[in-house]
Every structure is written in C-alpha cells, then in structure tokens.
Amino acid sequence: MNRSDVRREAGATPAHVGSRPVWAEIDLGAVRHNASLLGRVAAPGALCAVVKADGYGHGAIAVARAALEGGASWLAVATPEEGVQLLDAGIAAPVLVLSEPPPEAMVDVVGRGLTLTLYSQRAIHAAGLASTRAGVVTDVHVKVDTGMHRVGAAAAELLEVVQAVVAEPSLRFAALWTHFPVADGVEDEDRSFTEAQIRSLGEARDLLARAGHAPPMLHAANSAGALAYPAARLDMARCGIALYGVPPFPVVDPVVARVMDGTGARALRPVLSLRAKVTLVRRLDAHERPSYGRLYGLEAPSTVATVPLGYADGVPRRYFTLGGTVLVGGRRRPLAGMVTMDQIVVDCGPGDDVAVGDDVVLIGEQGSESLTAPQWAEVLGTISHEVFCGIGPRVPRVVVDREGQG
C-alpha cells in the first residue's frame, strides 16, 4: 500500500479530538473478543477484568462495559476511588479492590458495594467498625503472600487474619487469593516458583478449612497464570494485560495457542492504537541537526516531519536515543532528533513526498507495517503495561467498535 492509499484509508482526524491532531483509538470490539477468549480459558471459573489505572490508560468505564459484554463477571481496581467511578457510571458487576485501603479511609469506602481486599488486623478492625456504623455487610477477600512479598498476610499469620474477619459481624469472608510475580517467566526457576505458589495457596486453603473457615472462593491467576497454568485458574482468573490484547509472554501467538489447551480461541487482538498527523514539513540539508541538543546529523538531504506529541504524551526522550521508530506512509521512520515535551521530529528520508495532514502511527497498523506496544517496550527496556499507562491524559481516547460483538 503506497502512502496516498494509507492516507485515504485512515481518513480525517476524529471530530472531537480538538485543536491538536493526536489521539489514542480504543477498539471495544477487541476488548469483547479478548474477554470472550479469556473467559473460555478461565472456565468454569469466572473472569475478572482488571481495569485499574483507568483501564491501563485505555479508559476504565468503556473497557469495563465491553469486558462484561464479552463474558467477564467481575472487575478489579487498585483503589476504592477507581471502583466508585465504575459504580457511579451505572456498572453493576462486583468490583474487587486489589489493595487494602488505609484504616482512616474505611468510613468512606464501605457502603458503596465494593469488595475489599484485607490482610492486616488494623484494617480489618477499621472496616468492621465502619461497616457496623453504616449498617452494611462488606465482602472481604483476604490476600495471602505466597512469594510476591509486596502486600498480603504472611502465611504464618493467615489464620489469625481470617479469624479476625470472621469475628466481625459486619464483614463476610468471601475469598482467599494470592498473586504471581513470575508466571510470565520462561525459565525453569520461574515455573517452579509459580507452581510452588499454587501449592502454597492450596495449603493455605486446607489450613483454613481445617479451622472451619473454608474460603468460599479461591483465586490466583493473572493473565500469564491463566494462560500458562491450568491449575491456577481455580474459581476466578484476574486478567489485565491480555484483556488489552498483549499476550504476557516473550513469544506471542505460538505460546498463547499452545497453552490454551483446546479452547479453540483465536489470537488476542490489540485494543489501543496511538495516532497523530503531520503538522509541519521541512526539507533539510545533510548534516542538519534537528531538535534539542542537536544530537543527530542527517546523513543526507531529508524530509523532516513534525508530529505534535512528545514526552508529556507518553513518548519518552529515550525513544529517540534508543532508536525508536514511527510509521509514516506505511513505512518505519526513525526520529530525527530528541523527543520534546510536545513534539517529535521524524526523518522521512530524501525525496519523500510526505505532507502536512499525513497520518502517523506510533502504535498500531499502517498499510502492511505495524508497531506494537511490546515492540515499544522492547526498545525502551520496559513492559507494555508501562507503555500504555504512560500515554498522557491530554491524548484524547477515541472509542471505536470495529467488529461489534464479533
């Protein structure tokens, strides 16, 4: 596909983007598809769609609704405020808060219908007192630390923590859960560690059952755990990055296809693309050095295009120094100089007919080429989660629905 075809196919800037032709496109059809796929993997357990951090920068409310339409039955967030935002939008699914709120916040948290994660005595006491005063019963999922060592009750303290929940008449012990730090790892040590965590969770469940407090629900799997460890699927799988179309493995579709164990599911579909338009074109001589620092001299006379987004929008400065590219005219083009707060400059090569208004794709497809969030992450030495969450709030999210329920 030549450049002019790509430009016609992409069409005009969405009308509600505003004065700056930059936007992130969110495909709700892809969210539904991914939720359906992951739901089949999790079955007969439930699928919990993780929509914390504004849905990994995709827009929590729109993603939550599409995930529920695709088959998710739970939602998960990081903070009570994120959960209340979903409830205020009219979303009726159960919402799990993944981290324990501070005791002083409990009075504002209970009574909103959120399911709390708790793992400390003082938070349990505060939640019980606030729930009693509010005249409600609050569901509690107790988190046990099986090796992540971030939050959660230590195994030696778990029984006392659960007994404290059960002793509060306004709290209901509804689940036991844990989290995996290396389920996405490919080394034998990673697999052994994750399998040991699954066993530890089972031992914790048995300990509580012997004490008369059998957990009504058990969950452990994140995206990687759900896809690669059938024994981790249990009663619910909490899927984040896979919901947004990024398989949580270094090897993408072959690994996903192999571990899906006869589900017949198609590949995950990317949900987000990051797009812009050229706002200025200059023809520069060889050895000119665009942008701050004048770090790079053009090797030959070249067309340099200015694109109106920068590190305030999620394009880190090091994306230039590490050799990142964008798509213009269906081809990968290197940056011509340092990323600035509001703009990048792109080296489109000698003799190119790039023009103001041409489409630029930073994440997504253009013609036969594509740039993915995992490719960005590889360049930047990070993970796709950070790439998505780094796309700033002044980048409008434009919702599309390319394939309906398909």
The answer on pLDDT for 17 being more than 90 is no
Taking a C-beta distance cutoff of 8 angstroms, is the pair 363, 305 a contact?
no
* Catalytic site residue from 52, 119, 229, 319: 52
Q: Note the pLDDT of residue 317.
A: 97
Q: Tens digits of per-residue pLDDT, 279-305?
A: 999 999 999 999 999 999 999 999 999
- pLDDT beyond 70 at 10: no
DSSP 37-48: HHHHHHTTSEEE
User: What is the per-residue pLDDT for 136?
Assistant: 97
Mean pLDDT of the chain: 92
H helices of 213-336, in order, are: 223-228, 253-259, 318-321
Find out whether the peptide bond into 102 is cis, omega within 30 degrees of 0.
no
Domains detected in the chain: 3-23+272-400 (2.40.37.10), 43-248 (3.20.20.10)
pLDDT given for residue 381 in this prediction: 96
Contacts of 145 (CB under 8 A, 6+ apart): 119, 151, 152, 153, 154, 155, 178
A 10 A CB-CB count for 16 gives: 8
Q: Is the pLDDT of residue 158 over 50?
A: yes
> Would you state the pLDDT for residue 4?
32
What's at 273, amino acid-wise?
A: S
Q: Would the pTM count as exceeding 0.85?
A: yes
Q: What's the pLDDT at 281?
A: 97
CA geometry: angle 272, 277, 279, nearest 5 deg: 150
Q: 247 vs 162, which has greater pLDDT?
A: 162
Question: For this structure, is 52 an active site residue?
Answer: yes
Q: Could you read off the pLDDT of 57-110 as tens digits, one per residue?
A: 999 999 999 999 999 999 999 999 999 999 999 999 999 999 999 999 999 999
- What is the Cα Rg of the chain in Å? 24
3-state secondary structure of 195: helix
* Range 112-120 average pLDDT: 96
Catalytic residue among 143, 229, 292, 319: 292
Token pair of 361 as six digits: 């794709």
Percent of the chain with pLDDT strictly greater than 90:
86
